[in-house]
Amino acid sequence: MTTEVEGRLQRALVVPLVHADNPETAVQITRALIAGGLTVVEVMLRTPEALACLLEVASSVPEACVGAGTVLTADQARDAIDAGAAFIVSPGLDDGVVDVAQSA
């Protein structure tokens, strides 16, 4: 059975990356992407405020399917899921990240 998130990811022609230093900017970027027809976004965990950005985007832009990218550890995966990530992207294969994602 395909979940809603899996279906949205399969239909997405592009998954743009949101890289922001503050939540307000992340929300503005995501709203602009939604207006342009891109409804799946990946918030990159590359700034000190990335989890706050992810939380704000996930809670403020409900029409977006929001994931977390550059997830390197199981703790990051847990934190991202707690912040509202619907999917996880990792640049490598980490068993801890996989375990957390599968559990969620």
Residue-level pLDDT, tens digit, the chain, 104 residues: 468 999 999 999 899 999 999 999 999 999 999 999 999 999 999 999 999 999 999 999 999 999 999 999 999 999 999 999 999 999 999 999 999 999 99
Q: What percent of the chain has pLDDT over 70?
A: 98
CA distance 100 to 21: 26
Question: 69 phi and psi, to 5 degrees?
Answer: -120, 165
What does DSSP say about strands 17-18 and 40-44: parallel, antiparallel, or unpaired? parallel
Range of the domain at 87: 23-93
* 8 found inside a domain: no
* 12 found inside a domain: no
pTM of the complete model: 0.92
* 57 found inside a domain: yes
Residue 35 sits in a domain whose CATH number is: 3.20.20.70
Domain count, the chain: 1
